[in-house]
């Protein structure tokens, strides 16, 4: 993987939160009374009432990001620190929250409420809204968010899904103590400027099969477990408005139909690596990625499994109005479900 450039702290993609704003956010978080894990909808209703009271600069930057007006594809909020001591990083997947302070849940929920609706996917961690991400020994070399010794290549979140989230939110409870776990990302607008029109045309054709049998989660397609599928839906890499296209990208799960499609995918990958930036996420960082306008990746790092490892909290957000099925989506990956 080509080395990405370090993110400039003065970039439009970065907003450093001042102490007064952090104090205000802690005060707003303390106003909530509902349990974000056992009564999330009621908790989110409480959080929504606090959005108009967010400090003006934070509210403006979130609004600009939601409108896509910056074109950066990512917004890093720095300095959103918890008060008190963060408990040891878990070593095994946990069903219940391992933190008592609910400041991270408030920050994530108020950001989500400013952008759209938090969603869960029934086949992904049983539909959890708040997902803890940390290294797990048995998955150290897997292509998984629980890995550490393996690089996670550039991708859009849940590229295999007919309804991937519009935004990915990562809140850092604890950074990598060595500072070597790098989160990489690249904005689609910057990447596509490097590609010729014939490459863009190839990427816009439904010439990429999603190889469903490579998925680890318990999805079904046409009522059949995906691990038994020999084929999958044909999708395009680029879609939507040709002047501002959305991106669906995960090479490990995509099989090109022919050499022209394969070459276009290789050229896109090279352009992504040229235009990418990286950041070592620190405690109190909240990274928002526009999943339609950015790809992201993560470098390998050393995990110790001693309670001090990197620990993130993840949330998926959609701009769509939630239908009658509610906040937790259950999806059959049948070819007809892809737009």
State the virtual CA torsion across 23, 27, 29, 31 in degrees, nearest 10: 180
Strands 183-187 and 246-247: unpaired
What's the confidence (pLDDT) of residue 1?
57
Token pair recorded at residue 245: 């296209």
The beta-carbon contacts of 302-305 under 8 Å, at least 24 apart in sequence, are 302/148, 302/178, 302/180, 303/135, 303/137, 303/140, 303/148, 303/149, 305/91, 305/135, 305/137
What's the confidence (pLDDT) of residue 96?
57
Q: Is 278 annotated as a binding residue?
A: no
Could you state, in chain order, the average pLDDT of each consecutive group of 10 residues for the chain (339 residues)?
77 93 97 94 96 96 87 92 91 69 94 97 93 92 87 96 97 96 96 97 98 92 91 95 93 97 98 96 98 96 95 96 79 88
Alpha-carbon gap, residue 36 to 129, rounded angstroms: 9
What's the confidence (pLDDT) of residue 2?
63
Q: Is 155 annotated as a binding residue?
A: yes
What's the confidence (pLDDT) of residue 321?
79
Q: Does domain 14-187+280-337 have CATH number 3.60.130.10?
A: yes
Alpha-carbon gap, residue 59 to 64, rounded angstroms: 9
What's the confidence (pLDDT) of residue 4?
81
Neighbours of 51 (CB within 10 A): 15
The beta-carbon contacts of 58-67 under 8 Å, at least 24 apart in sequence, are 58/15, 58/17, 58/21, 59/114, 61/15, 62/111, 62/114, 62/115, 63/114, 65/115, 65/288, 65/290, 66/114, 66/115, 66/116, 66/319
What's the confidence (pLDDT) of residue 325?
60
What residue ranges do the domains of the chain occupy? 14-187+280-337
């Amino acid at each position: 993987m080509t080395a990405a450039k370090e993110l400039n702290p003065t970039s439009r993609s970065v907003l450093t939160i001042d102490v007064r704003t952090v104090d205000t956010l802690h005060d707003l978080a303390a106003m909530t009374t509902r349990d974000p894990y056992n009564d999330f909808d009621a908790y989110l209703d409480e959080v929504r009432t606090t959005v108009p009271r967010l400090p003006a600069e934070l509210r403006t930057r979130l609004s600009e990001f939601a409108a896509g007006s910056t074109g950066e594809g990512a917004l890093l909020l720095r300095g959103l620190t918890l008060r008190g001591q963060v408990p040891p990083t878990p070593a095994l997947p946990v069903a219940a929250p391992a933190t008592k302070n609910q400041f991270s849940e408030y920050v994530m929920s108020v950001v989500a409420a400013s952008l759209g609706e938090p969603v869960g996917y029934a086949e992904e961690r049983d539909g959890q809204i708040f997902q803890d991400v940390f290294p797990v020994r048995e998955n150290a070399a897997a292509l998984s968010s629980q890995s550490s010794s393996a690089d996670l290549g550039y991708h859009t979140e849940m590229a295999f899904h007919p309804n991937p989230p519009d935004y990915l939110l990562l809140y850092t409870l604890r950074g990598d103590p060595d500072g070597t776990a790098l989160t990489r990302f690249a904005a689609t607008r910057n990447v596509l400027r490097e590609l010729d029109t014939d490459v863009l045309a190839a990427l816009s054709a439904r010439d990429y099969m999603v190889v469903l049998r490579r998925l680890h989660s318990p999805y079904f397609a046409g009522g059949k477990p995906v691990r038994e599928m020999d084929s999958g839906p044909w999708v395009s890499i680029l879609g939507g408005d040709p002047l501002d296209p959305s991106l669906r990208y995960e090479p490990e799960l995509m099989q090109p139909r022919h050499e022209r499609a394969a070459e276009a995918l290789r050229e896109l990958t090279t352009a992504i690596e040229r235009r990418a930036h990286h950041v070592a996420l620190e405690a109190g960082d909240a990274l928002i990625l526009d999943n339609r306008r950015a790809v992201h990746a993560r470098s390998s790092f050393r995990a110790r499994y001693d309670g001090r490892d990197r620990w993130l909290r993840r949330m998926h957000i959609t701009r769509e109005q939630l239908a009658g099925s509610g906040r937790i989506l259950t999806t059959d990956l049948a070819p007809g479900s892809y737009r």
